Homo-oligomer: A and B are copies of this chain.
């Protein structure tokens, strides 16, 4: 019970800290992103939240994520060219995406903190480092069964 309440409060505070009014829907989505470190898509969030919020609209999920991203409360990942994934984590880190099952895994950046390039041509606001390849599970399953979409 404590942890549940704590997450709600954390999420609420996080929204306020980023200048976002904590509506019921925004809170639910922010809380979802803080609890699930799976880098979900709009549809994943929408489908997972709907059982407990039957009136939730897909458009609201789109709208809310747009607001969260604009206010830097959440990160939009472009690692998957088919659809956007969202990340509630704040500390800088990279991502690995399995080209077979689509799973996205956090990659610690440790000390390879990669200097932001200096240029007269542009001003950098965000950095995204993406690795692609096969995850351990998909390497193993390769010969054997078809195990797609297990980890999305």
Contacts and interface: CB of A to CB of B under 8 A. Distances in A.
B139 A123 contact: yes
A131 B127 contact: yes
B114 A122 contact: no
Given A96-B124, A122-B105, A139-B123, A78 B117 contact: no
Interface residues of A, number: 38
Copies of this chain: 2
A80 interface: yes
A56 interface: no
A99 interface: yes
A44 to B, nearest CB: 16
A53 interface: no
Interface in A97-116: 98-99, 105, 107-108, 112, 114-116
A3 interface: no
A98 B120 CA distance: 13
